[in-house]
Structure 1
Amino acid sequence: MSSTSTAAAPTVEKAGSSGLALPIALFSIPLGLAGLGGAWVAAAELLGASAAPAELAYAASAVVWAAFTGIYVVGAIRRDSGRFKVDLRHPLFGPLTAYIPVIAILLVAHYAPSLGQAARWLMYGAVAALAINAAALVAHWLSAPLEEDALHPGYFLPVVAGPFIASIGLAAVQDHAAADAVFGVGIYFWLLLGAVITSRLFFGTPLPQPFKPVLSILLSPPGTASLAWFAITGGEIDQLQGAIGAVTLFTLLIQLFFLADYLRLPFSSQHWVFTFPLAVLGNIGVRWSAGLGFDGWEVVAWVVLGISTAAILAILGGTLRDCARYLFGRQR
């Protein structure tokens, strides 16, 4: 879905040279960083881990999100005032426009204790932006039918994972009635869209090899639903949480059969698609282990969190390496 170039920096330059604003797919970077921060918040709360990793990840996410949003908006204004509208209606990139409000929700949720009374209003603003974005997307899909092969798991972002993340954010500002309501929206579209996307993956043409990472997004609906229900219930494992957890576990089992394909992919900025599902797995791994409280649960929680964190840091390291090569190459 993003450029298939071998580094993030060339991807941005290539897009810019063709008259586009910052590629919307690159917002997977601050989303992954915010997700990593959330996993380490769970570790700080339940495993007694230092708060430093969470704060560092969220700070990095906030800086990158603010920079990317500024570049995207300024680039859209300077090059084409209708750029966002074009992206919104794009059959591949359209759903990714939800990155901007979704990341804002995660950041406001984390910094809510420091924002005081403003946190609730900022959260309402971010959730409203997501709702408008999602409604515009659904209206476009209904009025301009898509080619089946254009569908991909990224379509879950605005109307499934987005509402579940909004539910987490609203619970963070103590509006539990609204959190329950938007959780219902996520469930509705998960059932509705899940069947359509699965049908496309089963019976449509195979995804192009560079787009294979988007299959990891199949983990996001059950994973974010699990985290949202933990936020609503205060960490309780009830019957609904058990059902969602089983779906998440089965989806993870399916992903393991793609692992060899993922490892064969040449490294690119597309790998950031993996980071949010990985972070969600680390987060629910900690919360589920603590909720079940079995003997040795702390070890299991640390192992899951460690694997998740190491994979995300490896992707970050690869991106920094390729950016350095690109910058040094241009100076020669």
Structure 2
Amino acid sequence: MTSERALIPVSYFGIAVGALALGNAWRVAVPLWHLPQDIAHVATWSSLAVWLVLLALYAHKWLRHGDAARAEMNHPVQSSFASLVPLASMLAAMALLPYARGVALAVFAVSIVASLVLGLWLYGRTWQGGLAPELVTPAFYLPAVGQNFVAGTAAAAFGWPQLGMWFFGAGLFSWLAIESLILGRAATHAPLPEALRPVLGIQLAPPAVGGVTYMSLNHGAPDLFAQVLLGYGLFQALLLLRLLPWIARQPFTPSYWGFTFGVAALPTLAMRLVAAGATGPVEWVAPVAFTAANAIIGFLAIRTIALLLQGRLLPAATPSR
């Protein structure tokens, strides 16, 4: 019998997504408010290091514990989190772009193909039916909404805005369809189990991430639709704040990183509006949201490191003979 080995749940890529999204927020904040460039560099490279470590651990899981990885991919809820792997990789490609365009382009090419293939496979499975209502959670956004929005932003960053518009359209209309499904389940069925409630943090991501994508494609104009997306993002943030005591009955686990993509994207959208010339309330929303994002993600990072030091971060594999 071999010794037990720690395995990484694919949902842990939410840590990389949150860290990379915060690094992107810092890259927007530095020129806007003349903040120290070194902080943006540290945020970028530390998030890339997290992404690489998680990639290595996940590759190990597939190579040495393929049965566990395949079981995860066949699970109706956990499989949606597999979308975080190409999603994080597209964010990593954008983070690498100012430093090594060739490497960034290679990462982008692989991850955008992977996101399309995986997204179609996972979302297509939903269309085949048979899913129990209690398994419908905001994790459903990841394959069809999150991946497409990030692909749209990345395509624009690499100089293919038309491709970005296509991905943005796919993400936008998928978001509208899926949100009504999730709200219908929440309103008419039993409450989510406590262990799944942190997944509700993903609810903040579509308007905020979609807004960042839209700003990447509309030449940065602070127009009506950009403001509409920010408004809905702020509403979702307040809704999650209202639900937080109910969500937080679940003790801290890395699943709370589900909040971080939206938490980091919301100030990024507000800052991009300010940088584009928007005035009024957004001028104070941007710094408040940016400060809150750093505080929230910093708190989650400290709690996650504490779990790691206590040896409770990674579950162990079932011993094999």
Partner Cα distance (1:147, 1:165) in 2: 29
3-state SS of paired residue (2:8): coil
Other-structure match for 1:216: 201
* 67 and 229 in structure 1: CA distance in 2 versus 1, 3 angstrom threshold: same
Matched, 1:72 2:58: yes
Matched, 1:152 2:148: no
Partner Cα distance (1:189, 1:103) in 2: 20
Other-structure match for 1:27: 13
**1:164 counterpart (149, 160, 168):** 149
Other-structure match for 1:256: 241
* 71 and 17 in structure 1: CA distance in 2 versus 1, 3 angstrom threshold: same
Structure 1 unaligned regions, length at least 5: 1-15, 328-332
3-state SS of paired residue (1:207): coil
Partner Cα distance (1:265, 1:176) in 2: 41
Q: Per-residue displacement from partner, 1:85-140 (whole Å, max 9, x unpaired)?
A: 43222111011001110011001112113223454443232111100010111222
Other-structure match for 1:306: 291
Partner Cα distance (2:298, 2:286) in 1: 18
* 17 and 301 in structure 1: CA distance in 2 versus 1, 3 angstrom threshold: farther
3-state SS of paired residue (1:76): helix
Other-structure match for 1:11: none
* 138 and 246 in structure 1: CA distance in 2 versus 1, 3 angstrom threshold: same
Code of the residue aligned with 1:38 in structure 2: it is N
**1:52 counterpart (34, 38, 50):** 38
Q: TM-score, normalised by structure 2?
A: 0.88
Matched, 1:62 2:45: no
Q: Per-residue displacement from partner, 1:298-318 (whole Å, max 9, x unpaired)?
A: 554322211110111011111
Q: Per-residue displacement from partner, 1:70-90 (whole Å, max 9, x unpaired)?
A: 22222222222x544432221
Partner Cα distance (1:138, 1:265) in 2: 28
Q: Is the 8 A contact 1:19 1:79 kept in 2?
A: no
Other-structure match for 1:318: 303
Q: Per-residue displacement from partner, 1:148-188 (whole Å, max 9, x unpaired)?
A: 11110011011102111111111110111101111011012
3-state SS of paired residue (1:184): helix
3-state SS of paired residue (1:114): coil
Q: Is the 8 A contact 2:22 2:294 kept in 1?
A: yes
Other-structure match for 2:319: none
Partner Cα distance (1:143, 1:33) in 2: 34
Code of the residue aligned with 2:244 in structure 1: it is L
Code of the residue aligned with 1:197 in structure 2: it is I
Partner Cα distance (2:26, 2:227) in 1: 23
3-state SS of paired residue (1:235): coil
Aligned-residue identity in percent:
25
What is the aligned-residue RMSD (CA, Å)? Answer: 2.4
Alignment of 1:1-332 (within 5 A): 21-80=7-66, 83-143=68-128, 145-262=130-247, 265-291=250-276, 293-294=278-279, 300-326=285-311
Moved more, 291-300 or 88-97: 291-300
Partner Cα distance (2:16, 2:24) in 1: 12
Partner Cα distance (1:119, 1:264) in 2: 40
Structure 2 unaligned regions, length at least 5: 313-321
Q: Per-residue displacement from partner, 1:244-284 (whole Å, max 9, x unpaired)?
A: 22322322232221133345543222222222221112222
Q: Is the 8 A contact 1:20 1:79 kept in 2?
A: no
Q: Is the 8 A contact 1:89 1:140 kept in 2?
A: no
* 118 and 19 in structure 1: CA distance in 2 versus 1, 3 angstrom threshold: closer
